[in-house]
Amino acid sequence: MLLHERSTTAGAILGVVAIVFLVGQQLAIMFGLFTLMSAVVDNSGADIWVVSKNVENTASVSSLPSRYVDRLAGMEAIEWAEPVIYSGGQLRLPNGTFQPVQVIGVTRPELHGGPWRFASGGNDVLLEYDGATVDKFDLEDLGSPELGRIVEVNSRRIRIAGYTEGSRAFGAPLLFTNATKAREVTGLPADRCSNILIRLKPGANVRQALVDIEVLLPKASALTSQELARNTIIYNLTSTGIGSSFGLSTLVGILVGVVIITLTMYTNVLNRQRDFAVLRALGARRRDVFAIIVYQALTIGLIGLLIGFFLLAGFLFGVKGSRLPANLPLWLPPAHALLTFLLCFAGSALALRRALKIEPASAFR
């Protein structure tokens, strides 16, 4: 049984819906961006990335001697080691302007570190001398090049031979090609590469391998893929302002919801002071009043949560397959629900304080 008024209860539910939806969609986009930031590393298939000394993320320029690859390949724990070219480029659009791209060159024939999902064609297009792939979500930005179209990147000809689907990263569009063409496009000499990808043999000790690599290559750093991905996300969050921007909007979403819940629940108690006093006179203890308010907060939280998650699911469904990155890790909805319930209780605190102060004698005034 709830001591409620429809309008104030609806207002409190609206507050919860605001928290669930606004915060949920902000977090979904933020985690979607996280996925993009670390996509190249996460989908590389490598256990370890070897980068220039003191380079901590994929956004920083790394340059290594190609001979390191042979040294690494000779190590007992390593299954394969392959160089990858990672550099910026300018793609000339049909209208004469330029679009920045991230050129990734992978080594034939294995093509480790290449695109991970295709809309048309497959990895084999990168085996061709001038073959390259771009993502279908980036086509508009790249002047909508059809398959087979020759485009210019850094004034070098390159052929769009395949489309990927979701093989995207944070920042400029990705353009995958083979290492030979990438060197030609980026001007990187044959004896240099950007990074070296390493897959360890099954059962190999990763920590020991990292130590061994840094002993073998004192002028390079070795990071696990997880470390590099995490570093890249942190770098992008701190250097681009995305972290503070999303953090602020998430905080605003929470504050708006808490203010709505607090005001509506407090107003509800104010309007129902006599009812609470009557209940107290009839025999309700303070703890019974506490239970009524908590029950009310739980009910409002649950209804708001269901509506909010329904809207959130609609949002995620709507942006699926679009350019807008959105991703909710499995642990997030339960954590979000828990946070929402905590905020409902926090929002009820003022109302609770007021309700517990109501004296039963006031029912007779």
Partner 1 sequence: MYAPVLQLDGVVRDFSDGRVVRRVLKETNLDILPGELTALAGPSGSGKTTLLTIMGLVLRPSAGRIVVAGRDAAGLSEDELATLRMEKYGFVFQQAALVPALSALDNVLVATAIQGARIKPETRKRALEVLDKLGMKEYADARPQQLSGGQQQRVGIARALVGDPVLLLCDEPTSALDVESSHLVLDTLKRLSRDPRRAVVLVTHDPRVFPYADRLIKMEDGAIVYDTRTASAGGI
Please select the residue that binds partner 1; options are 54, 207, 334, 364, rule is CB under 8 A: 364
Instruction: Give me 5's structure tokens.
Output: 């008024």
Taking the C-alpha atoms of residue 207 and residue 189, their distance in angstroms, rounded to an integer, is: 32
Provide the β-strand partners of residue 37: none
The residue type of 168 is: R
Please select the residue that binds partner 1; options are 280, 293, 304, 343, rule is CB under 8 A: 280
Q: Minimal distance in Å, beta carbon 135 to partner 1?
A: 55
Candidate ranges 76-84, 125-133, 158-166, 278-286; the one touching partner 1 (CB under 8 A): 278-286
Please select the residue that binds partner 1; options are 75, 246, 275, 350, rule is CB under 8 A: 275
Q: Minimal distance in Å, beta carbon 287 to partner 1?
A: 8
Candidate ranges 49-57, 127-135, 306-314, 356-364; the one touching partner 1 (CB under 8 A): 356-364
Beta strands in the chain (DSSP E): 48-52, 64-65, 78-92, 98-106, 118-120, 131-135, 150-153, 156-164, 174-178, 192-193, 195-200, 220-224
Q: Which residue number, 220 or 279, has a Cβ lying nearer to partner 1?
A: 279
Provide the β-strand partners of residue 65: 192
Taking the C-alpha atoms of residue 34 and residue 306, their distance in angstroms, rounded to an integer, is: 26
For partner 1, the binding residues in 282-311 under the rule CB under 8 A are: 282-288, 291
Look at the alpha carbons of 177, 179, 181, 187 in this order and tell me if their dihedral is positive or negative: positive
With binding defined as CB under 8 A, does residue 124 bind partner 1? no
Candidate ranges 85-93, 137-145, 273-281, 349-357; the one touching partner 1 (CB under 8 A): 273-281
Q: Minimal distance in Å, beta carbon 9 to partner 1?
A: 9
Please select the residue that binds partner 1; options are 2, 147, 248, 255, rule is CB under 8 A: 2
For tokens 């040294």, what's the residue? Answer: 71
Nearest to 15 by CA among 355, 312, 300: 300
Taking the C-alpha atoms of residue 9 and residue 7, their distance in angstroms, rounded to an integer, is: 5
Taking the C-alpha atoms of residue 312 and residue 309, their distance in angstroms, rounded to an integer, is: 5
Q: How many residues bind partner 1 (CB under 8 A)?
A: 25
User: Which residues contribute to the site for partner 1 (CB under 8 A)?
Assistant: 1-5, 274-275, 278-288, 291, 359-361, 363-365
